[in-house]
């Protein structure tokens, strides 16, 4: 299952979108830490319904993460800012 870290620059809002679960969660330090953790188990997450929308419909995809894979960063600059914002580290 792939999770998408999405940044909406118009609303200055971040969310993690889980299309396979049909939901999204607002990013908090806890969700950010889990997103980058060794074994995130996205199948156990629940959140706000996002229906059939694509992650891109919510903003810019900054990073993706598969349950068993590494974080794949699409926008290094934004990712670095978000790591600092939520976890206090670049």
pLDDT of residue 90: 63
Name beta bridge partners: 15.
6, 26
Which residues does 39 contact at the CB level (< 8 Å), separation at least 6?
67
pTM of the shown model: 0.91
The pLDDT tens digits for 30-89 are 999 999 998 888 888 888 888 788 899 899 999 999 888 899 999 999 999 999 999 997
pLDDT of residue 61: 97
Kindly tell me if the per-residue pLDDT of 19 is higher than 70: yes
């Amino acid at each position: 299952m792939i999770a998408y870290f999405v940044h909406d620059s118009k609303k200055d809002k971040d969310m993690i979108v889980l299309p396979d679960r049909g939901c999204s969660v607002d990013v908090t330090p806890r969700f950010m830490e889990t997103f980058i953790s060794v074994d995130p188990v996205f199948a156990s997450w629940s959140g706000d319904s996002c229906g059939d929308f694509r992650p891109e419909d919510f903003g810019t995809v900054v990073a993706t993460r598969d349950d068993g894979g590494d974080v794949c960063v699409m926008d290094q600059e934004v990712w670095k800012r978000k790591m600092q914002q939520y976890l206090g580290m670049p």
